[in-house]
């Protein structure tokens, strides 16, 4: 079998996605992949167009070999752009292998270790009562784990917005850590009083704290028995993890912007974290994410795969396939896509009562309608920009 064509599809049915189709010389057999990277979609698309000629003529069944070919082709290795492009190719190859074998990808990875994958979703509000109501709605839907945020972007530390500098660019948030640090323990005090102790609750810091601020927050939240504290530090603050770890028994989760096994390994070996938030999309695909989760297993680190809406339907299906088979599963983030996405993409994973069951269709079970995708052209979108009240870019 040979690869005959590689097609990159950038579309915006409610939000931007980068999809990929890899065609073979077997009539009708092609694989679907995804390399979405929030805010940088056109850059990944260009990387894929650049790499595509290397794939033509190769045997798509040789997934491991092609992974290393793509990883090493440029001399400059790694980083989120190449990791997302590499994932798009890797997903499409697993999809081809599944279709060839007439088996869903989770079967190729070893078969189910659980019947379905437990998910969490997001409770939020402008004050603690709104957040409580939002959490109750999720609990009524069946969710056993709920992320809880209060205020703009999850914390009362956002004091306002600077207007955009030029049309089409984002406003800048004005953020201060003190109101944020005061708001989060107060939120959990309210939620535990109103919702009880059995529901699993947690909070996402979005990496907005210094190491000693994060240590203080983890310590103050210990009494509220969090499922985990998400992204309390930037991954670059490696030397500061022992300070945070020693401060409390609040479980710690990190990794949604980690793109490499080399950044995961010291977190595991030093027992600094309890949950790893990688997902196949941003570490180079299923081939690499599976290896990272195997590395995590002897260190008792469980998965909490990032699954915000920028982890599109193909990438999410790959996450769910892997989450179904690994023994060290923790939880899967769940967000519903904009309605138009379901018009363009078929086979998207369905969440029922807080759980997702992987697709039984061959491969990843997803397809992209290219005509419909073309009706939703790319729209430039940005990630939040954050400054302190005195005008300094927020350095944390
Ligand atoms: Mg997060």
Residue pLDDT, tens place only, 121-145: 999 999 999 999 999 999 999 999 9
- Cite the residue boundaries of each domain of the chain with CATH code 3.20.20.120: 108-363
User: Residue 152: its pLDDT value, please?
Assistant: 60
146 contacts 171 by C-beta, under 8 angstroms: no
Residues of the chain with CATH 3.30.390.10: 3-103
Tokens encoding 147: 């992320």
b/e code 84-97 from CB counts within 10 Å (16+ = b): bbbbbbbbbbbbbb
Task: Give Cα separations from 139 to 75, 85, 150, 354, 377 (angstroms).
Answer: 49, 37, 17, 9, 37
pLDDT at 155 over 70: no
- pLDDT bin (cut points 50, 70, 90) of residue 238 is confident
Which listed residue (23, 120, 180, 206) is catalytic? 206
Least confident of 77-81, 103-107, 130-134, 276-280: 77-81
Residues with CB under 5 A from ligand 1 (ion): 204
337 is catalytic: no
Q: 137: CA distance to ligand 1 center in Å?
A: 21
pTM of the model: 0.96
Mean pLDDT of 356-373: 97
Report the chain's C-alpha Rg in angstroms.
21
In this structure, what token pair is assigned to residue 262?
Answer: 């080399």
pLDDT at position 31 is: 98
- Pairwise CA distance, residues 269 & 229, whole Å: 19
Q: What is the CATH number of domain 108-363?
A: 3.20.20.120
How close is the Cα of 204 to the center of ligand 1, in Å? 5
pLDDT category of residue 151 using cuts at 50, 70 and 90: confident
The whole-number pLDDT of residue 394 equals 86
Dist. CA 157 → ligand 1 center (Å):
16
> In Å, what is the CA distance from 360 to each residue of 98, 241, 286, 347, 364?
11, 41, 18, 10, 9
Q: What separation in Å is there between the alpha carbon of 279 and the centre of ligand 1?
A: 12
Other Cβ atoms less than 10 A from the Cβ of 196: the count is 8
Q: What percent of the chain has pLDDT over 70?
A: 98
In this model, does residue 154 exceed pLDDT 60? no
pLDDT in tens, 333-355: 999 999 999 999 999 999 999 99
Per-residue confidence band for 149, with pLDDT thresholds at 50, 70 and 90: very high
pLDDT at 74: 87
Q: Is 282 a catalytic residue?
A: no
**pLDDT given at position 170:** 86
The Å distance, Cα 303 to ligand 1 centre, comes to 14
Whether 153 shows a pLDDT value over 70: the answer reads no
pLDDT of residue 101: 98
The catalytic residue among 71, 73, 153, 299 is 153
Report the CATH superfamily, name and number, of domain 3-103.
Enolase-like, N-terminal domain (3.30.390.10)
Residue 172 has a pLDDT of 87
C-alpha 231 to ligand 1 mean position (Å): 6
């Amino acid at each position: 079998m040979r690869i005959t064509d590689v097609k990159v599809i950038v579309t915006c049915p409610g939000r931007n996605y980068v999809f990929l189709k890899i065609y073979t010389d077997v009539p009708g057999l092609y694989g679907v992949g995804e390399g979405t990277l929030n805010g940088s979609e056109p850059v990944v698309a260009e990387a894929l167009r650049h790499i595509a000629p290397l794939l033509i003529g190769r045997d798509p069944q040789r997934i491991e070999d092609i992974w290393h070919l793509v990883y090493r082709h440029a001399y400059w290795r790694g980083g989120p752009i190449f990791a997302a492009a590499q994932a798009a190719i890797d997903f499409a190859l697993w999809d081809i292998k599944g279709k060839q074998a007439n088996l869903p990808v989770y079967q190729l990875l070893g078969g189910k270790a659980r019947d379905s994958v437990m998910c969490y979703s997001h409770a939020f509000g402008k004050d603690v009562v709104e957040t409580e109501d939002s959490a109750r709605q999720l609990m009524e839907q069946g969710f056993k784990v709920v992320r809880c945020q209060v205020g703009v972007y999850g914390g009362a530390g956002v004091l306002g917005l600077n207007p955009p500098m030029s049309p089409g660019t984002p406003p800048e948030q004005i953020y201060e850590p003190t109101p944020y640090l005061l708001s989060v323990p107060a939120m959990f005090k309210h939620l535990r009083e109103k919702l009880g102790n059995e529901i699993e609750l947690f909070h996402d810091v979005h990496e907005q704290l210094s190491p000693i601020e994060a240590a203080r927050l983890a310590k103050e939240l210990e009494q509220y028995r969090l499922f985990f504290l998400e992204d309390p530090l930037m991954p670059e603050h490696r030397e500061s993890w022992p300070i945070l770890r020693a401060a409390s028994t609040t479980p710690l989760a990190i990794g949604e912007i980690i793109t490499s096994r080399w950044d995961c390994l010291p977190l595991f070996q030093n027992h600094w974290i309890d949950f790893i938030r990688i997902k196949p999309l941003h570490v180079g695909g299923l081939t690499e994410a599976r290896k990272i989760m195997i590395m995590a297993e002897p260190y008792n680190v469980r998965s909490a795969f990032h699954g915000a809406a920028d982890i599109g339907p193909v990438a999410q299906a790959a996450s769910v396939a892997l989450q179904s088979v690994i023994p060290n599963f923790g939880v899967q983030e769940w967000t519903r896509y904009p309605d138009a996405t379901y018009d363009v993409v078929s086979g998207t994973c369905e969440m029922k009562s807080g759980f997702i069951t992987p697709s039984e269709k061959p491969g990843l079970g997803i397809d992209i309608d290219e005509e419909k995708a073309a009706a939703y052209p790319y729209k430039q979108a940005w990630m939040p920009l954050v400054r302190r009240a005195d005008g300094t870019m927020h350095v944390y």
